[in-house]
Homo-oligomer: A and B are copies of this chain.
Amino acid sequence: MDTLSTNRAFGGTQGVYSHASTATGTDMTFSVFVPPHEPGAKLPVVWYLSGLTCTHANVTDKGEYRRACTELGLMLVAPDTSPRGDGVPDDPEGSYDFGLGAGFYVDATRAPFDQHYRMWTYVTEELPALVADRFPVDMARQGIMGHSMGGHGALTIGLRHPDRFRAVSAFAPIVAPSQVPWGRKALGGYLGDDAAAWRRHDAVALIEDGARVPALLVDQGAADQFLVEQLQPERLAKACADAGIDLTLRLQPGYDHSYYFISSFMADHLRWHAERLD
C-alpha cells in the first residue's frame, strides 16, 4: 500500500492510499479518515460508496464528514467506483453511466468486463482485509452508506452481509436497478441476462427474496433530477413495508442530487451509524 497523501484535519488524519488490487488486476485508490483516538484504540468504521462518475476524491473533498467523524470517533473509508488504468475497457460509447467510474459494485461476468470489473469482491473482501490490516479499526463495528450508484452498493452489500454491517444508510440510492435505465444498462452490460444475478444486485429484489436488515436510513432530495426515472424510492418503501424492515425515508424539499445535498445530511447519517456501532 502506497500513501499518496496525508493531511491533518479536524484533529485526525485524512489519507489517500493506493495499492495493487488482485480483485481488479489494477492499482486502486481509496481514502481513509482516522479521527483522533487513544493509542491502541480500535475504531468503528463507516464505508462510503460513491456514485456514477466519482472517485474517492468527491466525498473526500465535498462530503463534510470529518467534523462528525471526529466528534463520534468514526473512521470513514471511501473506495473508487471502478477499476482504472491501461487495459481496463470502458463503455464503447464513452458514456458516463457504464465502464470507468460506473462499476456498480458487481463482479462482471461478461467479456471484456469480467477481467477487471470486480468491484463486489474488491469492496466486500479485498479492501476490508487491507483496511483491517493497516488501520486501527474494529471490524466488529462496521456501517455502510453510499450515494446514488453507491447507495445501491451500500444497500445490496448491507442486505447480503447482515452480520457484518450494523448500520446501513443511503443518499438518493438506486433502489431497484433491474427496473430503471441506469441499472438495466449496467446489470445487462456486466452480468448479461442472468436474472438470478440481477436479483442479487437489486436491493428491492433482495428484500423480496428474504434479505433483511433491522433498519435503514435513506435521504432523498425532492428536487433530484433523477428521482422519477432512476431512483424511485417508493419501490424501497413498499418492499420494506411488506418485509417489516424499519425504513426511515426522508424526502428533503428543494434538495438535488449533488454533494450540496449529501453534505447537508452527512452528519445525520454518521450519528445514525454511531448509535448503532456503540
Task: Give chain A's interface residues, CB within 8 Å of chain B.
Answer: 7-11, 14, 61-62, 64, 66-67, 221, 223, 254-256, 258-261, 263-264, 267
The dominant DSSP class at the A interface is mixed
User: A64 and B61 in contact (CB under 8 A), knowing A254-B8, A261-B9?
Assistant: no
Task: State A14–B256 Cα separation when bound (angstroms).
Answer: 12
A256 interface neighbour in B8, B255, B259, B267, Cβ under 8 Å:
B8
Q: For A255, what are the chain B residues with a Cβ–Cβ distance below 8 Å?
A: 8
Is there contact, CB below 8 Å, between A67 and B10? no
Task: State A223–B7 Cα separation when bound (angstroms).
Answer: 10
Is there contact, CB below 8 Å, between A67 and B256? no
Q: For A61, what are the chain B residues with a Cβ–Cβ distance below 8 Å?
A: 61-62, 259
Q: For A10, what are the chain B residues with a Cβ–Cβ distance below 8 Å?
A: 263-264
Is there contact, CB below 8 Å, between B263 and A9? yes
Is there contact, CB below 8 Å, between B66 and A7? no
Q: For A14, what are the chain B residues with a Cβ–Cβ distance below 8 Å?
A: 260
Task: State A154–B260 Cα separation when bound (angstroms).
Answer: 27
**Number of copies of this kind of chain in the complex:** 2
Closest 8 CB pairs of A and B: A9-B260, A8-B254, A7-B260, A8-B255, A10-B264, A64-B64, A9-B264, A61-B62
Nearest B residue to A258, CB-CB: B7
Nearest B residue to A253, CB-CB: B8
Residue among A9, A10, A256 with max Cβ neighbours from chain B (10 Å): A9
Is there contact, CB below 8 Å, between B267 and A7? no
Task: State A66–B67 Cα separation when bound (angstroms).
Answer: 13
Q: For A223, what are the chain B residues with a Cβ–Cβ distance below 8 Å?
A: 8
Report the minimal beta-carbon distance from A226 to chain B, rounded to whole angstroms. 15
Q: For A263, what are the chain B residues with a Cβ–Cβ distance below 8 Å?
A: 9-10, 64, 66
Is there contact, CB below 8 Å, between B67 and A267? yes
Nearest B residue to A12, CB-CB: B264
Q: For A260, what are the chain B residues with a Cβ–Cβ distance below 8 Å?
A: 7-9, 14
A261 interface neighbour in B8, B221, B258, B264, Cβ under 8 Å:
B8
Task: State A256–B61 Cα separation when bound (angstroms).
Answer: 16
Q: For A258, what are the chain B residues with a Cβ–Cβ distance below 8 Å?
A: 7
Is there contact, CB below 8 Å, between B256 and A7? yes
Report the minimal beta-carbon distance from A259 to chain B, rounded to whole angstroms. 8
